[in-house]
Amino acid sequence: QGIVVVTINYRLGPLGYFAHPALTAAAQKGEPLANYGLMDQVAALQWVRRNIAAFGGDPRQVTVFGESAGGMSTLALLATPSAKGLYARAIVQSGGGWFPPVTLAQREAAGESALTALGHAKASAADLRALPAEALVSGVGGSFGPIPDGRLLKETPTQAFAAGRAADVPLIIGWNSGEDSLMGPWRPEMARAIPEGARKIYAAEAARGDEALARAVFTDNLMGAPARWIARQAASGAPAWLYHFSYVGTRFRPFTDRAAHAAEIQYVFQYWGRRTPMSAVSEEDRAMAVLMNGCWAAFAKTGRPDCPGGQAWPAYSRDADTLLEFGFETGLRTGFQSGRLDFQEQQRLPGLALP
């Protein structure tokens, strides 16, 4: 396709996003805190800017993109002031978009509590840096990811998009029909997470039982509604394109009727390997891969997803509310699941400390 693809490593978990009062006290004025994994990503983009021409790439035409945690990282980069100008466009595949307003103080308290439990109460910055990496990886639990430190990342990506302060670049964003694969096996107690009022909004799913309802709510809450919301916020500037991926590969159809989390990746890269050996690839699968790969490649080259075969994909607008569904019958959908996604906005947005 004439595109240079660069993949990177970056720190994860407590090695990537750890905070502690001692580290904050020891930091120089303006020195970033806690977001070491995000710092690695910015450093990688800076490396690409300096070096990609030697590999045949164009430093003025960088597309930053990722799936799942990579999509979340892409959204964080769009909200990181020092990363602006290092890329020309972005793609977020199943990366959500609604980040809880966790503060540095909260993350510091969690870090201090974890180290105390490991027998390192009142540790200094030097003490913490002397700890073996294995001690942090195995001993510090919890959820880790980018948080506003007031320096590198001044606000959550959700807050940045709401305020119009995210990087104004062309954007593709979307989600899959079976993101509930992240839930794992069904347990009856999962029904407790179903919000009040959901049974009315998700009437068809509710009629099939608690599991079907909970899985639909999970998918919309984690990925679908945030993706549409981000597209809405972004659409007032550079164009944004919204998609929904519901195509199920031929080999998976005996087991499921929904596209699991990450199922789109092999079609985006037109790559058959670990998930689908060549012997299980149908002509229908190949056609979907040609389509998605072509849309993504065109976007990387021009900033517009001009898809193969003349498949229309208009930029998203709040008024039209149109997305492209990559499915058994690929096509444009207007007002796609709008009642469900509106319900999720009403549930979640008030708790995100938006400006």
Would residue 181 show up in a list of annotated catalytic residues for this protein? no
Identify whether the C-beta of residue 74 lies closer than 8 Å to the C-beta of residue 90: yes
Alpha carbon of residue 95 to chain centroid? 2
Q: How far apart, in Å, are the Cα atoms of 222 and each of 168, 172, 312, 331, 352?
A: 24, 17, 27, 24, 14
Give CA–CA dist 114/139, Å, rounded: 8
DSSP strands (E only) in 238-328: 240-245, 322-326
In the chain, how many H helices and how many E strands?
15, 6
Strand order in the sheet with 240-245: 63-67, 89-93, 171-176, 240-245, 322-326, 331-334
Give CA–CA dist 258/177, Å, rounded: 6
197 in the Ramachandran plot: left (φ > 0), alpha (ψ -120 to 50) or beta?
left
Q: What is the DSSP letter of 110?
A: H
Alpha carbon of residue 213 to chain centroid? 23
Alpha carbon of residue 33 to chain centroid? 22
Measure CA of the first residue to CA of the last residue in the chain; give whole Å: 42
Identify whether the C-beta of residue 101 lies closer than 8 Å to the C-beta of residue 157: no
Identify whether the C-beta of residue 326 lies closer than 8 Å to the C-beta of residue 247: yes
User: Among 206, 213, 207, which Cα is nearest to 190's?
Assistant: 213
DSSP 135-183: HHHHH--S-------SSS--S-HHHHHHHT-S----EEEEEETBGGGGG
Identify whether the C-beta of residue 117 lies closer than 8 Å to the C-beta of residue 140: no
Question: Which is catalytic among the residues 68, 73, 94, 246?
Answer: 68
Residues annotated as catalytic are 68
